[in-house]
Amino acid sequence: MRIQEIMQGKGGSIVTASPDTTVRELVALLTEHNIGAVVVSSGESQIAGIVSERDVVRRLAAGVDILDSAISEIMTSEVRSASPRDTVDDLMRLMTEHRIRHVPVVVDGSLQGIVSIGDVVKSRMGELEFERDQLSSYVSNTQ
């Protein structure tokens, strides 16, 4: 299975924030959209970074003053990305090796979407259910 198939099931909505968005505004954005990470973009489709709930929580440990800071202070600037043509196995490997849960999907330097670990698990469960159903059907028809 390819990442593009996961993206087709998700829809085309991409939530981004500018680097000067405050952490407080980020928290509201994450809550409003029920998501765990936002791509930080200084342009329409260019990626400046990514910031997640984990980034917020880790910085909150030092004090609540971080809430009024720009997300550029807590975002990850070195963003790992994937192509829609990459396989889900490749994506799982990337997420595991780099301990990340959200991966932007990019085509020719342009942001096309974001895939989360939850999206990957959902797709994998669908594949396993299909295989189980096929095996059950095969076994039923051979008896």
Domain ranges for the chain: 3-142
Tell me what the pLDDT averaged over the chain comes to: 90
- Is residue 41 helix, strand or coil? coil
Regarding predicted confidence, which is higher, 87 or 128? 87
* Angstrom distance (rounded) from CA 61 to CA 87: 37
Establish how many alpha carbons lie within 13 A of residue 126's alpha carbon, considering only the half-sphere containing its beta carbon.
Answer: 11
Across residues 45-71, what is the average pLDDT?
92
Short-list 54, 55, 52, 117, CA closest to 82: 117
Strand partners, 106: 111
Contact 103, 83 (CB under 8 A): no
pTM of the entire structure?
0.83
Query: Within 13 A of 107's CA, how many CA atoms are on the CB side?
Result: 7
Distance between CA atoms of 70 and 93, rounded to whole angstroms?
Answer: 31
Q: How far apart are CA 76 and CA 124, in angstroms?
A: 27
Q: Report the pLDDT value the prediction gives residue 143, as an integer from 0 to 100.
A: 66
Name 74's Cβ contacts closer than 8 Å, sequence gap at least 6.
Answer: 23, 51, 55, 56, 58, 59, 66
pLDDT band, very low/low/confident/very high, at 44 (cuts 50, 70, 90): low
How is domain 3-142 classified at the architecture level of CATH? Roll (3.10)
The number of C-alpha atoms within 13 Å of 122 and in the hemisphere containing its C-beta is: 11
